[in-house]
Amino acid sequence: MLKLLIDNPLLLLFLVAAVGYPLGRIRIRGSSLGVASVLFVGLAIGSIHPELKLPEIVYVLGLALFVYTIGLSSGPAFVASLRQDGVRNNLFVLGGIVIAALLTVGAQRLLGLSGSVTAGLFAGSLTNTPALAGALETIKHLASPGLVDQLLAEPVVGYSIAYPMGVMGVVLAISLVQKLWRIDYAAEGKRLKIAGAATEALRSATIRVAWPGAERQTIAALSRQEKWDVIFGRIKRGEAYLLAGPQVRLQPGDLVIAIGTASELDRVAAVLGEVSEEEIAHDRSEFDYRRIFVSNPRVAGRRLGDLGLFERFDATVTRVRRGDDDFLPHDDMVLELGDRVRVVTRRDRMAQVTSFFGDSYRAVSEVDILTFSLGLALGLLLGTVPIPLPGGVTLKLGFAGGPLIVALILGTIGRSGGMVWSLPYSANMTLRQIGLVLFLAGIGTRAGYGFVSTLAKGGGVAIFAAGAVITCVTALLALWVGHKLLKIPMSLLIGMVAGLQTQPAVLGYALEQTGNDLPNIGYASVYPVATIGKILIVQVLLSLLM
């Protein structure tokens, strides 16, 4: 059996994934390792024999896929965050990473660790696999040929030992401070209004118009004046129905359907009249509504307001569902492949609208190989370019940083002429998961033998303790400075701390605590800078300590 696995690396790969992935879903006191358990299964299997390891190309390919898909989806949110407090927030996160690096150097001096183990300790304490990959790539350039194989195992050893507490330490820190400070996430969610964050669930209400002043202005002008964040759908006027287009004027006695959060609907009803018990949403005799998949490449990457739906089809979009969340559509919202738009239009125009958006589930499950391969190739090429730094140090973004930066740019651009750079949501998530599994299985099996050897020598406990201190001190300091000094709302801050850790498991815990999408916004706004910062800092650590 052992020889069979050594001679058949594909069999070894899928065995590690098949055993590791379900183990990661086991929850202990509400927490789980998630996909990171693949790494530990890889370490366990790799520890059996020095030749029981996957080829290097497995983890390199996995890393490139993982960071590229992350960048494509995070690009728009990252750029949007820079318009307000993004610069401050990213400098704040970089400061936290520098503190962690200083603590890591302190641990290296105290424990007498090698430079390569120290780099892995830093990456594991901050749970960042791209930083680990950056360390491995740097070692290949710095180490002498005879020591490369030995030194490549050391960062993974430090990473693997520090990683579990890198997840649990942050979760414990968040749990502690939210209890000490008595955070009310529900109140924060209602108070904060951030584009792209589903802080409250969307609902619809039928409002009876009683205000005489409603007919003095169009719906668009009235919404701007009152700063309503709602979408108006159909209007029942007497026995007739019409669509609430931007230039339509409401009249006393109208029944109008409005979509928005509960708090926003209450504001609208207080001005226009009152919420009516009469249901007009179920009457589909003249106007119909349905959810349609955005699968037409000519629509993806374009602003909703540029499509001219009302003028072309007498249609309006009342909701956009992306992943598991519903968003209110606005004119500046950019549609992505795989979005599901809820459209209201006349029954005889629904087929035209459906054809316009595409509505092909098969199409949004496929990947445009041309744009995907070209974008990834540009990222890998950028990763090979040497970047000179003061002091004669030369750094490279490598297989992690290069694809990430290019993906952020392409994800923000969305499309270039007829080329759509973004991926359908489902395809992006699938490729991201596959990439991470490939990377973790690859580095796990390649470092397993060295990992066990280090533990057998008695140095593993000290590395684990050092990693726990680095993680907990960094997280607690970031939470205190962010909330008490910078006055960042806790709902956003815990997402930013998850981004500082670049840890999806911490983000999942944050989302469970808040019950809204604000942690997603904080996470996406700092994740790219945190990832790139860790990649660069780990290379600086190796250059100074090796």
Per-residue pLDDT tens over the stretch 18-66: 988 888 777 766 555 667 678 778 888 888 887 888 888 888 898 889 8
Question: Do 39 and 175 belong together in one domain?
Answer: yes
| Domain final position from 343, 363, 383 | 363
14 and 158 together in one domain: yes
63-87 pLDDT, tens digit per residue, is 889 888 878 887 776 776 667 677 8
Whole-number pLDDT of residue 380? 92
| Contact residues for 534 (Cβ-Cβ < 8 A; gap 6+) | 97, 122, 123, 126, 128, 130, 131, 134, 502
Identify the pLDDT of residue 437: 87
Look at residues 367, 361, 398 and name the one whose alpha carbon lies nearest to residue 383.
398
Over the stretch 391-427, which tens digit does the pLDDT of each residue have? 555 667 777 778 888 998 898 888 888 788 888 888 8
Q: Is the pLDDT of residue 264 over 80?
A: yes
pLDDT tens figures, 420-466: 888 888 888 888 889 888 988 887 887 777 667 666 666 678 888 99
pLDDT of 150 > 70? The answer is no
Give a yes or no: residue 489 inside a domain: yes
**Which of 273-282, 345-354, 480-489 is least confident?**
273-282
CA distances from residue 407 to 355, 477, 504, 537 in whole angstroms, order as listed = 30, 31, 19, 21
Residues 30 and 154 in one domain: yes
| Residues β-bridged to residue 454 | none
Task: Judge if 210 and 278 occupy the same domain.
Answer: yes
- Positive/negative CA dihedral, 451, 508, 434, 299: negative
Q: Which residue range(s) make up the domain with 391?
A: 2-190+369-545
What is residue 138's predicted lDDT score, i.e. its pLDDT? 76
Residues 389 and 473 occupy one common structural domain: yes
The yes-or-no verdict on residue 189 having pLDDT over 90 is no
pLDDT average, residue stretch 191-217: 75
State residue 196's pLDDT score: 46
Q: Looking at the 3D structure of the chain, how many domains does it have?
A: 2
Single out the residue in 298, 332, 363 at which a domain terminates. Answer: 363
Alpha-carbon distance of 510 to 188, in angstroms, equals: 14
Structural tokens at position 233: 């759908």
- Of 257, 283, 261, 294, the closest CA to residue 272 belongs to 257
Last residue of a domain, one of 311, 343, 363: 363
Closest CA to 158 of 544, 543, 529, 542: 542
| 181 and 61 housed in the same domain | yes
Tell me, yes or no, whether 380 lies in a domain: yes
Average pLDDT score over residue span 124-131: 83
The length of the chain in residues reads: 546
Question: What local confidence, expressed as pLDDT, does residue 342 receive?
Answer: 92
> Has residue 228 been placed in a domain?
yes
Share of the chain above pLDDT 70, in %: 88
User: 149: part of which helix (H) or strand (E)?
Assistant: helix 148-180
Residue 159 lies in a domain: yes
Task: Please state the pTM of the whole predicted model.
Answer: 0.73
The answer to whether residue 72 sits within a structural domain is yes
Is residue 335 included in any domain, yes or no? yes
Q: Do 238 and 352 reside in the same domain of the chain? A: yes
Tell me if 59 is assigned to some domain. Answer: yes
For the cut 70, the answer to whether the pLDDT of residue 281 exceeds it is no
Q: What is the pLDDT of residue 441?
A: 87
- C-alpha–C-alpha distance, residues 367 and 82, integer Å: 30
223 and 167 share one domain? no
Q: What is the pLDDT of residue 36?
A: 67
Mean pLDDT of the chain: 83
Structure confidence at residue 391 (pLDDT): 53
pLDDT band at 143 (very low <50, low <70, confident <90, very high): low
Q: Is residue 151 located within the same domain as residue 248?
A: no
Task: Tell me the pLDDT tens digit for each residue of 2-23.
Answer: 778 887 888 888 998 898 888 8
What is the residue-wise DSSP string for 428-494? HHHHHHHHHHHHHHHHHHHHHHHHHHHHHTT-HHHHHHHHHHHHHHHHHHHHHIIIIIS---HHHHH
Determine the 3-state secondary structure of 323 from DSSP.
coil
Residue 197 is assigned to a structural domain of this protein:
no
- pLDDT tens across 155-170, in order? 878 887 887 788 778 9
Same domain, 183 and 78: yes
- Cα–Cα distance between 149 and 237 in angstroms, integer? 77
Of residues 515 and 392, more confidently modeled: 515
> What does the pLDDT average to over 288-310?
87
Q: Residue 202 corresponds to which tokens in the numbers above? A: 């969307």
Q: Are residues 326 and 374 in the same domain?
A: no
6 and 153 in a common domain: yes
Give the range among 204-208, 225-229, 453-457, 507-511 with minimum mean pLDDT: 453-457
CATH number of the domain bearing residue 217: 3.30.70.1450
